[in-house]
Amino acid sequence: MAQATDIRTKTPDELNGMLLDLRKEQFNLRFQRATGQQENTSRVRMVRRDIARVKTILAERARAAAKV
C-alpha cells in the first residue's frame, strides 16, 4: 500500500506508470476472483484505494497547473 506522501514525491510520468501497473493488477485480481483462484481478498480493496490516491494527486497537480 502506497502512502500519499510517497506518491507526491513522484513525477507525473512515474505516477502514470504506477497507475497503469495498478490497473493491470486490478484486472488480474478481478480475473482471479471470477475464476475462484483469489487468495488475498483484501488486496482488491488496497489496489482500488491506491488507484484513487494516484488519480487524486494527478488531478490536484492538473488543477494547480491550470491555475498558473
Domain boundaries, the chain: 4-67
pTM above 0.85, yes or no: yes
**21 by DSSP, 3-state: which?**
helix
Q: Hey, what CATH topology would domain 4-67 get?
A: Helix Hairpins (1.10.287)
Question: Which amino acid is it at 68?
Answer: V
Q: Is 15 left (phi over 0), alpha (psi -120 to 50) or beta?
A: alpha
Looking at residue 56, what is its pLDDT? 96
Q: What is the pLDDT of residues 32-62, one digit of tens each?
A: 999 999 999 999 999 999 999 999 999 999 9
Q: What span, in angstroms and rounded, lies between the C-alpha atoms of 52 and 68? A: 25
